[in-house]
Each structure stands twice: as C-alpha cells, then as structure tokens.
Amino acid sequence: MSINANKDVITRFIMEVWNGNNLDVLDEFLDPAYFDYSYQPRNREGLEHTLLIMQAAFPGHETIIEEIVGEADAVAVCLTLRGTHTGPFRGLSASGKQFEIGGYRFYKIRDGKITLHRALLDLPSLLQQITGQ
C-alpha cells in the first residue's frame, strides 16, 4: 500500500475507533497478529480494555491529529487528547475536570491492517489536570 493509503488507515482508525468508540470495526483495522507495546495484555484484548476504560472515565474524549507522517509501512501521529473526567480512572473518582494532553502514536501496517502500535501519552499531565495537584 502507498504511504498515503497507510496514513488514511490510521486516520480512519483514530476517528472511528478512538473518537467514535466503535469496537465493532476492529476486525477491519487490526491484523490477526496485532501486537501492542502500550497496553496489557499486548494484543487486541489490551486495546479493547483500554478503550473501555477511556470511555468509562472520559466519555466523548477526542483525539485530534496534529501531524501525521508516513514512511514505508510506518505511520507516526502527533496528537492532542482532550476530554472531561466524568468516571473513575486509576482509583480516582470523577472530578468533572477537563483535560488536554499531548501524545504520540506509532503504527506499522501490512496490507491495510495495523500490525503494531506504540504510544506515549502525557499521563502525568492528565493526572495533574484531573486532580488539580
């Protein structure tokens, strides 16, 4: 696939799965051998678990793609994640506070399917914003 086609896959994945909270389309996006360095377990189950946590803690959260870069089978995304803390998260009760953090995601794609994911999100800033500390 072309670099632009790979970038389109990731853009759609973020819009439909992360922003749309649509787990029903995961088969469309994930390779059966999908590996995830960022979640536990390090596979589709870990991704699904994380999506459920995010939706419960921050319903309607939004990922904004600030930059997207592709090369060969790799796509990197610089993003902003924003939302409101209206459910429990990491032992913290809902605060009702809004947050906005930065992050990066790195994907590998083969034949139009995501085979690998790594993420770095500013979790300390998120915790600071929702606790006020």
The model's pLDDT over 3-27, given as tens digits with 9 standing for 90+, comes to: 999 999 999 999 999 999 999 999 9
**How does DSSP classify residue 126?**
H
**Of the candidates 100, 88, 94, 110, which has an alpha carbon nearest to the alpha carbon of residue 32?**
110
Instruction: Compute CA distances 90 → 5, 27, 58, 108, 111, whole Å.
Output: 36, 28, 12, 29, 36
For residue 24, give every residue at least 6 positions away whose Cβ sits within 8 Å of its Cβ, in sequence order, or none.
Answer: none
For residue 10, give every residue at least 6 positions away whose Cβ sits within 8 Å of its Cβ, in sequence order, or none.
Answer: 68, 75, 77, 105, 107, 109, 114
CATH number, span 3-131: 3.10.450.50
The tokens describing 87, both together, are 């459910």
What is the pLDDT confidence band of residue 54, given thresholds at 50, 70 and 90? Answer: very high
- The pLDDT score that the predictor gives to residue 42 is 98
Q: What are 73-129's pLDDT values in tens digits?
A: 999 999 999 999 999 999 999 999 999 999 999 999 999 999 999 999 999 999 999
- The pLDDT score that the predictor gives to residue 125 is 98
| Total-model pTM | 0.95
- The pLDDT score that the predictor gives to residue 1 is 85
User: Contact, 58 vs 87, CB < 8 A?
Assistant: yes
What distance in Å separates the CA atoms of residue 105 and residue 90, rounded to the nearest whole number? 22
- The pLDDT score that the predictor gives to residue 110 is 98
